[in-house]
Amino acid sequence: MSTGITLWIISLVLGLVVIGVVALLLHLVKTTAFKIDGVAADIWTHGKLVANNTIHIPLFLTTTNKVVSSILETAVAIVGGSKAITQHIEGCPGCPACILKPNKN
């Protein structure tokens, strides 16, 4: 075999090896890009779901504030009633008499 043919064979083999390595690296880059695209799509989807959930917060906050206001009014009434009971107990000589007389306190 002549030197020229040997050099051609060596250069072709080296070219094939380089092409194989480049193809492998491009495949790895493509696979990684698809994984990144999938994760980015998941992040986008979950971000939209969070935004959709947080859009309702003002509505729920208004309802919650109304309920809490009602609870506060009831609690204040209960405290006032317990104070009235305490005052009645302190000044009442005998509660059976108070039960028999309606609208005394």
Digit-coded pLDDT (tens) for 7-18: 999 999 999 999
As a whole number of angstroms, the distance between CA 1 and CA 73 comes to: 105
Digit-coded pLDDT (tens) for 17-31: 999 999 999 999 999
Digit-coded pLDDT (tens) for 82-92: 888 887 777 77
Mean pLDDT in residue range 42-55: 92
Task: Determine the residue type at 55.
Answer: I
pLDDT of residue 1: 74
As a whole number of angstroms, the distance between CA 34 and CA 45 comes to: 16
Provide the H-helix boundaries in the chain.
3-54, 57-91, 95-100
pLDDT of residue 66: 87
